[in-house]
Amino acid sequence: MAKLLLKNINKVYAGGVKAVDNFNLEVEDREFIVLVGPSGCGKSTTLRMIAGLEEISSGELYIGDRLVNDVAPKDRDIAMVFQNYALYPHMSVFENMAFGLKLKKVPKDEIEKKVKEAAEILGIEHLLDRKPKALSGGQRQRVALGRAMVREPKVFLMDEPLSNLDAKLRVQMRTEISKLHQRLKTTFIYVTHDQTEAMTMGTRIVVMKDGVIQQVDTPKNLYDNP
């Protein structure tokens, strides 16, 4: 069973903009899918529909073997990492990472264990008591990744997570996120307009234009047949 199935997915925004046009994709377990294409081609809308943050106009979305069109975001077994990190400014790094687990009433000692484990993997264990404003951009992005990780989602969704970082850090975080994907052994769906990012990170790349899928292939095949 595919980990994720998008069947004839369409999105028409109020006002009539057709943002996504008959999107079909089957994603296997542990793939790293990159949605790539110019600004306005429908990448973000697609990701937000998978997350449940945007209603699907028509079509069917399966996560695992469950039809999730009408399932609330928090019940979809997904976690999303945003470009602007979306950390809670009044909470420490620890509290930011623990927040989702606290809501789920996970026991305190288990929360502490999971947060510390994730923080260690991401190299932020020395920052747990800091507030987000006392962190660099790269550190904030790691906290956002950590907050997603501790929930152990089936699918990781990332919307341009590196675009607020400077060029050097962007290259470093690319490698880190690829390593994280290998380590977590889970499915990633990653949105970017940056072709280099797509080619270096994806196991499969979905090229979009004007809401329509143009090509779906491995980086190697896209490189050989652009």
Amino acid at position 160, single letter: E
Cα–chain center distance at 148: 9
Q: Which of 3, 42, 145, 201 binds ligand ADP (CB under 6 A)?
A: 42
Binding mask 67-106 for ligand ADP (x = CB under 6 A): ---------------------------xx-----------
Q: Which of 44, 186, 187, 192 binds ligand ADP (CB under 6 A)?
A: 44
What's the chain's Rg over C-alpha atoms?
17
Name residue, tokens 């790094």.
93
**Rounded distance, CA 24 to CA 5, Å?**
8
Among the listed residues 175, 205, 183, the one whose alpha carbon sits nearest the alpha carbon of residue 193:
205
Of 29 and 194, the one with the shorter C-beta distance to ligand ADP is 194
Q: How far is CA 119 from CA 83, 93, 134, 208, in A?
A: 20, 9, 16, 35
Q: Which of 21, 22, 40, 217 binds ligand ADP (CB under 6 A)?
A: 40
Q: Which two tokens stand for residue 72?
A: 């609330």
Binding mask 159-198 for ligand ADP (x = CB under 6 A): ----------------------------------------
Of 30 and 215, the one with the shorter C-beta distance to ligand ADP is 215
List of residues contacting ligand ADP (CB under 6 A): 13, 15, 17, 19, 37, 39-45, 94-95, 108, 112, 128-129
